[in-house]
Amino acid sequence: MTQLILEQALNGLQFGLMLFLLAAGLTLVFGIMDMINLAHGSLYMVGAYLAAAAVAASGSFVVGVLLAVAGTAVLGALLEMTVLRRLYTRDHLSQVLATFALILIANEAVRMVWGDQPALLNPPDALSGPVELGGFSYPAFRLLIIAVGTVVALLLYWVVACTRVGMWVRAGASNREMTEALGINVKRLFTLVFAAGAGLCALAGAMLGPLLAVQVGMGESILILAFVVIVIGGIGSIRGALVGSLLVGVVDTLGRALLPWLLRSFLPGEVAANLGPALAAILIYLLMAAVLFWRPAGLFPARG
């Protein structure tokens, strides 16, 4: 039993870290540019497809993932400079409509290039097996995801909290005009932030690709989770995105694994079997509602 819990907790951590890669870009774009970008999930999808193609072409998982990250970052920058930049000053409804259109376009474009079938993205051979973790075995590739996620999360935290670029980003988020008046080209800075966010999406897509299916529409389901994360964490806050991601990742994963089993211990079998999965599916929304009840601006509001 404890093994199951431990294994599921690790799965939750791993999923949470990948959610963070998505939520980080989303929360910065939302917090700084006051822009709702539904197409964020599409960058995740495109990143995963690019990774599948690049891994197949290069024969190396690492090279493929790096190429996908770079390619998606460039794509993100282009998207920002051509389309999204025009939306910053529009109201949220226009942003939602326009970026929803981008989702449809992206899905159709991916279907045209790669077809209807899910793309094949396998973990590197060396990591396809399990490793022994003091008493139970755990897939090596999932451990790699945890390692990569942890390193990137720390790196991102360091950039935002400790570097001058991070200070400009935070300054630009709270007072764009003053940031410009002190010599920072905020327009270019925002393009950079967007490109970085797109690159992180691709990294998440490439790392999760071997576990989940690389297919059209994969961006939408995870986008909803990423929005839940940034609302819980506080819009615009990187720290909030990290805490929110881990919370959502662990609660969702553990809930799905343990809730049916928990319910079975005090409810008749059939009721538990029906109720369990349903309850598990809405668990994170209950979590969000609870957080918003006590902290309406999220756990770490970016603007105090």
Partner 1 sequence: MKSLLEITGLEVAYGQSQVLFGVNLSLAEGQVATLLGRNGMGKSTTLRSLCGLSPAPAGILAGNIRFGGETLGNWTPDRIARAGIALVPEGRQIFPNLNVRENLVAFAANRRAVAQPWTLERVFSLFPRLAERQANMGNQLSGGEQQMLAIGRALMTNPRLLILDEATEGLAPLVREEIWQCLARLREAGQTILVVDKYVERLIRLADQHTIIERGRVVWSGSSAELDADHGVWHRYLGV
Q: Which residues bind partner 1 (CB under 8 A)?
A: 164, 167-168, 170-171, 173-175, 177-186, 302-304
Residue 170 C-beta: closest distance to partner 1, Å: 5
Residue 5 C-beta: closest distance to partner 1, Å: 38
Residue 124: Cβ within 10 Å count: 16
Reading the block at residue 43, the tokens are: 């960058």
111 versus 303: smaller Cβ distance to partner 1? 303
Residue 294 C-beta: closest distance to partner 1, Å: 22
Contact criterion met (CB below 8 Å) for 229 and 242: no
Residue 179 C-beta: closest distance to partner 1, Å: 8
Contact criterion met (CB below 8 Å) for 201 and 50: no
201 versus 302: smaller Cβ distance to partner 1? 302
Residue 55 C-beta: closest distance to partner 1, Å: 40
Alpha-carbon span 276 to 116, nearest angstrom: 33
25 versus 234: smaller Cβ distance to partner 1? 234
Residue 288 C-beta: closest distance to partner 1, Å: 24
Alpha-carbon span 68 to 238, nearest angstrom: 24
Contact criterion met (CB below 8 Å) for 299 and 233: yes
Terminal-residue alpha carbon distance, the chain: 44
Alpha-carbon span 207 to 189, nearest angstrom: 27
47 versus 240: smaller Cβ distance to partner 1? 240
93 versus 181: smaller Cβ distance to partner 1? 181
242 versus 280: smaller Cβ distance to partner 1? 242
142 versus 170: smaller Cβ distance to partner 1? 170
Residue 236 C-beta: closest distance to partner 1, Å: 9
94 versus 175: smaller Cβ distance to partner 1? 175
Residue 182 C-beta: closest distance to partner 1, Å: 4
